[in-house]
Amino acid sequence: MFLIGGFMDQASTLRKIKNGAMKGVKVISVTSGKGGVGKTNVVANLAIALAKMGKKVLILDADMGLGNLDVLLGIAPMYNMNHVIRGEKTLKEIMVGGPYGIKILPASSGVQELTALTASQRMNLFMEVDKLEHEIDVMLIDTAAGISSDVLFFNIAAQEIIVVVSPEPTSMTDAYAIMKVLHTKHGENRFRLLVNSAKGVKESAEVYRKISLVAERFLNISIDYLGYIPYDENVQKAVREQRAIIDIYPDSKASKCFVELAKRVEEITTPSELKGNVQFFWQRLTEVMMGAR
């Protein structure tokens, strides 16, 4: 039987996450419609850039089945999200430290069961996150690519959604697709677009223009341009050395753009009210109840 007390605790937690009541914590999802666009690399470098600005940053690796953020940063955690989902560990117990004091909640790799969490498991996960509220300023959620139920859930639970896209036509198509699904199925109206691996300002602006035109024609959504990260051969060098480029090559073109990106993210003012309307609240409650049956 589903207990009312637990139900209300879960509802309260999600409301706190959505409306920023977690001590002013910014909860930002970083997502993409297509894999291979450098999303996880963006998350790692953005986190370090924010940490260098004095922010306490927590990364939730939400690619539950194929997480690789720890590999990217050369970290070998003893425990991962699988242990939390199974009730064996708390989030604090699996948390590992990264460069410049960032904290990471590692996902597991190759555990298919974690790619389709129940509504109750998702809510329990956010209740665990709620316990960390006094220790962080920014939480970055590194979602999986695509439009699975977990990807959608982590995006709609965040206050801000950053969509990472590359100049490739397939990436642009898939970036539009995930925004379309989040808008039509879950009422999301505001997105922030980051162009990765662009040749320069002109190419990145063209990517933004194309996606914005289509979105303006077929969807009633707001897409803010966050800027771009240029193609930089040092990115791959850093990946091979399992270090963030902003850490190992701080004077590179890409690193300088990550610094600017962090400044823009810091300037984001999260609305105090729930994103969307009260329908989100009741929708979440319904999903939790259905998942608990």
Q: Are 61 and 104 in contact (CB under 8 A)?
A: yes
pTM: 0.82
pLDDT tens track for 22-52: 456 788 999 998 888 999 999 999 999 999 9
What is the distance between the alpha carbons of residues 223 and 163, in angstroms, rounded to a whole number? 10
Confidence at 281, pLDDT banded by 50, 70, 90: very low
Domain with 287 in it: what CATH number?
Answer: 3.40.50.300
Task: Decide which of 58 and 121 is more confident.
Answer: 58
Enclosing domain of residue 209? 4-291
pLDDT at 262: 97
Query: How far is CA 197 from each of CA 64, 68, 204, 234, 235, rounded to the nearest angstrom?
Result: 25, 20, 9, 12, 10
- Neighbouring residues of 290: CB distance < 8 A, sequence distance ≥ 6: 119
Query: Rounded mean pLDDT of 62-81?
Result: 79
With beta carbons less than 8 A apart as the criterion, state whether 75 and 103 touch. no
Q: Structure tokens of 290?
A: 């259905």
Q: How many domains does the chain have?
A: 1
Q: Diameter of the chain by CA atoms?
A: 58
pLDDT of 65 reads 54
Q: What are phi and psi of 31, to 5 degrees?
A: -135, 170
Reported as a single tens digit per residue, the pLDDT across 154-175 is 888 888 999 999 999 999 999 9
pLDDT tens for 194-230 read: 999 999 999 999 999 999 999 988 998 989 999 999 9
The Cα 29–Cα 154 span in angstroms is: 7
| Encoded amino acid at 288, one letter | V
Tell me how far apart the alpha carbons of residues 48 and 51 are, in angstroms, rounded to a whole number.
Answer: 5
Question: What's the average model confidence in pLDDT over 112-118?
Answer: 54
Tokens of 165: 């896209």
Backbone angles phi, psi at 224, to 5 degrees: -95, 140
pLDDT band at 106 (very low <50, low <70, confident <90, very high): confident
Model confidence band, residue 83 (pLDDT cutoffs 50, 70, 90): confident
Range scoring the smallest mean pLDDT among 8-17, 221-230, 241-250, 262-271: 8-17
HSE (side-chain half, CA atoms, 13 Å) at 291: 17
